Amino acid sequence: MITESDFSFMRQALALAAQAEARGEVPVGALIVHDNSVIAEAYNERETQPSALAHAELSAIRQACEKLGRWRLSGCTLYVTLEPCVMCAGALVQARVDRVVYGARDPKAGAVESLYQVLSDTRLNHRPQVDAGVLGEECGKILSDFFRRRRA
């Protein structure tokens, strides 16, 4: 069930996406919430960091693990402006994030639909709840505007 808090946290993720855009990065922002408090926030740094792991989601996961002093992020929700890719979706499962809330769908690289299919296997013991489309229009707009300007 999507709550008013979800919209508030997603607005914060959008602000992080705008920071990424200002740095010339693909505008994706992510934050991790535990006990209704933000414990980690990040944005894409894939263009400026010499690492394939500089995705917003992965950076937020690493920060949250450090803050909580554990690698299992049970009780945590990830808010991200764009549907996670395959690599990030796998990391979310491995980190045991309880819930993923994202804004815009990623028709090219999004993996949440396939994540749903993988997690339908009853032998797996971790299934994050996924809520899609929270502020989806705004999240999609910042991305489409970014890529439109890049192509111009």
The sign one gets for the Cα dihedral 105, 110, 116, 119 is negative
C-alpha span between 94 and 91 (Å, rounded): 5
In degrees rounded to 5, what are phi and psi of residue 108?
Answer: -90, -45
Q: How far apart are the first and last CA of the chain?
A: 40
Catalytic-role residue among 21, 25, 41, 57: 57
The question of whether 57 is a catalytic residue gets the answer yes
Please answer whether residues 95 and 67 qualify as being in contact, where contact means their C-beta atoms are separated by less than 8 angstroms: no
Q: Which residue has the tokens 């960091």?
A: 49
Helix axis angle, 56-68 relative to 86-94, nearest 10°?
A: 20
Strands (E) across the chain are located at 29-34, 37-43, 76-82, 99-104, 129-132
- Please give the positions annotated as active site: 57
